[in-house]
Amino acid sequence: EEYTRRKLSEKKEKTLGMIKPDGVEKLGQILDEIYKRGFLLTRLRMCCLDRNQAFRFYEEHRDKPFFNALIDYITSGPIIVFEIVNTNAVDNWREAIGPTDPSRARTVAPTSIRAQYGIDVTRNVVHGSDSAASAVRELEFFFPSSGPMLPNTSKGGNCTCCL
């Protein structure tokens, strides 16, 4: 009963998770990592980003030296995005994925998803919103409360990278 009361009073939070193109190639293993940790996925979709969409999603990084590499990578194949609902979803999911650079992750968080499946600092398998405010923006980006699921692309909304 105490457990039930605590559960009910715990504040649920939402975050956006993403399996990036290299992660989609290891989909079963990544989904198993999510499942093992007990994350509740409440919305999910597979899509491809065109370059304009990728620019908008990662606009905070537009002046970074790795920006072009990041855009090439994230548009290189299909991605899977999902909404996670959990207590402290933002922090818990960030902890599960581990540090940005997989080689650092293998040192400081060897059981994290990036440590186990990441290839290099660009191809790091998964994404997670970095704050509650980012989560709101990023969830709205992929799961808009009104309008189309994603803004139409130059190719009429069709996936352009996996045809």
DSSP characters over 100-120 = SSHHHHHHH-TTSHHHHH--S
User: Which one among 51, 130, 157, 159 touches Mg ion, defined by CB under 5 A?
Assistant: 130
- Least distance (Å) between residue 8 CB and ligand GDP: 32
Q: Please state whether beta strands 12-19 and 126-128 pair in parallel, antiparallel, or not at all (unpaired).
A: antiparallel
Q: Which of residues 64-103 bind ligand GDP (CB under 6 A)?
A: 66, 69-70, 100
Q: Is 87 annotated as a binding residue?
A: no
- The answer to the question of whether 114 is labelled as a binding residue is yes
Closest approach, Cβ 45 to ligand GDP, in A, equals 19
Q: Is there a contact between 29 and 21 (Cβ–Cβ < 8 Å)?
A: no
Catalytic residue among 18, 71, 127, 129: 127
Q: How far apart are CA 134 and CA 61, in angstroms?
A: 13
Applying CB under 6 A, among 47, 130, 159, 161 the residue interacting with ligand GDP is 130
Provide CB contacts within 8 A for 19, sequence distance 6+: 27, 30, 79, 80, 81, 125, 126
Catalytic positions are 127
Binding site for ligand GDP (CB under 6 A): 61, 66, 69-70, 100, 121-122, 124, 127, 130
